[in-house]
């Protein structure tokens, strides 16, 4: 039989994938030990208490043709039935709160079938690992749940969201929580960063080993770089569109200002010729404005 060749391993000097690239993050979450370590940190429990972490389909189904699809980065179900959506978001997203609420709501409502009792519903958690600032304060982590707006008493823990803002990580301190260690790992920018965090936690150590193996895999590196290029191309397109929009907006603003100036001068009884001279504008432009009034 013909032997199938394994992917070549090659790791250029200093090259290592970054977990903030969604391709890399999704690949890391394929490792059950890595998932267990991260989820335990999010739930603030010992990893031994997380019995199983099963990957689920990431496409949230549509109930009706007009419904919007939801495509998650990583969706995990625990043995207890709790579902967790893990999202890595690098670029600023204006409606992130809306999107996270939509995702967790879809996960929650998908659980129940027609005729089923509400007591079958299990907890759903949406986790956003963000490389941009969502809130205006200095907090880098928060848990959001449904609660009484006056007393702060929690209404239910069946739906909650966790927001991790990597851009707000404070200087490293002693005796940091496991979650803070994971945030520092995700926020790393070079192999030294990842190696340093790996020495402090065996589950992060597993993630570091997985990261090194991926970085040495030629095929995965090509996928990683293709994803990076797609992100760069998209950002370049959006920035160009924004610049074009600004220029267009400036022109519209100038046109409207000129129109208002002409209107005022006409009301004072000035002729087209005088208006053009006062405004230092081409007389044909002024005539066109007057005709449109």
Range list of H helices, the chain: 22-28, 32-43, 96-110, 178-186, 191-198, 202-216, 218-267, 272-278, 283-292
Q: Does residue 1 surpass a pLDDT of 50?
A: no
- CB count within 10 Å of CB 96 equals 16
Give the largest CA-CA distance in the chain. Answer: 96
pTM summary value: 0.74
Percent of the chain with pLDDT over 70: 84
The first and second tokens of residue 218, run together, are 């030629």
Are 186 and 169 a contacting pair, CB within 8 Å?
Answer: no
Angstrom distance (rounded) from CA 7 to CA 139: 43
Mean pLDDT of 42-50: 94
* pLDDT tens per residue, range 144-196: 999 999 999 999 999 999 999 999 999 988 889 999 999 999 999 999 999 99
Q: DSSP secondary structure string, 97-159?
A: HHHHHHHHHHHHHHT--TT--GGG---EEEEEEESS--SSSS-SEEEEEEE-TTT--EEEEEE
* pLDDT tens per residue, range 102-139: 999 999 988 887 777 888 899 999 999 999 999 999 99
Confidence bin at 2 (pLDDT 50/70/90): very low
Confidence bin at 68 (pLDDT 50/70/90): low
* pLDDT tens per residue, range 84-101: 999 999 888 778 999 999
**Of 193-197, 244-248, 261-265, where does mean pLDDT reach its minimum?**
244-248
Are 87 and 72 a contacting pair, CB within 8 Å?
Answer: yes
* pLDDT tens per residue, range 129-140: 999 999 999 999
- CB count within 10 Å of CB 55 equals 14
Residues in the chain: 293
Q: Does residue 62 surpass a pLDDT of 80?
A: no
Mean pLDDT of 268-273: 80
* pLDDT tens per residue, range 202-240: 999 999 999 999 999 999 999 888 888 877 776 666 666
Percent of the chain with pLDDT over 90: 54
14 vs 155: which has the higher pLDDT = 155
Angstrom distance (rounded) from CA 79 to CA 54: 8
Provide the sign of the torsion angle of the four alpha carbons 99, 104, 108, 111, taken in this order: positive
Residue 133 burial (CB < 10 Å; 0-12/13-18/19+)? middle
């Amino acid at each position: 039989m013909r032997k199938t060749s394994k992917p070549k391993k090659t790791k250029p000097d200093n090259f290592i994938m970054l977990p903030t690239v969604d391709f890399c993050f999704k690949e890391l979450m394929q490792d059950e030990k890595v998932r267990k370590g991260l989820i335990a940190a999010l739930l603030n429990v010992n990893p031994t208490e997380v019995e199983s972490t099963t990957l689920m389909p990431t496409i949230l189904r549509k109930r009706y043709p007009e419904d919007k699809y939801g495509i998650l980065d990583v969706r995990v179900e625990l043995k207890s039935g709790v579902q967790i959506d893990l999202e890595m978001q690098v670029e600023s997203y204006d409606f992130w709160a809306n999107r996270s609420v939509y995702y967790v709501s879809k996960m929650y409502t998908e659980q129940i079938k027609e005729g089923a009792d509400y007591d079958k519903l299990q907890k759903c958690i949406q986790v956003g690992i963000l490389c941009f600032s969502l809130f205006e304060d200095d907090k880098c982590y928060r848990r959001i749940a449904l609660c009484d707006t006056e007393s702060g008493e929690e209404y239910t823990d069946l739906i909650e969201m966790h927001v991790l803002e990597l851009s707000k990580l404070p200087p490293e301190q002693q005796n940091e929580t496991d979650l803070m260690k994971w945030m520092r790992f995700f926020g790393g920018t070079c192999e030294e960063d990842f190696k340093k965090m790996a020495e402090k936690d065996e589950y992060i150590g597993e993630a570091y080993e997985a990261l090194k193996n991926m970085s040495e895999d030629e095929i995965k590196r090509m996928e990683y770089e293709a994803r990076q290029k797609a992100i760069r191309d998209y950002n370049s397109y959006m920035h160009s569109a924004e610049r074009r929009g600004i220029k267009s907006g400036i022109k519209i603003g100038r046109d409207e200002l000129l129109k208002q100036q002409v209107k005022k001068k006409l009301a004072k009884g000035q002729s087209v010729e005088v208006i053009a001279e006062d405004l230092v504008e081409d007389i044909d432009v002024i005539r066109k404005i007057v005709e449109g009034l």
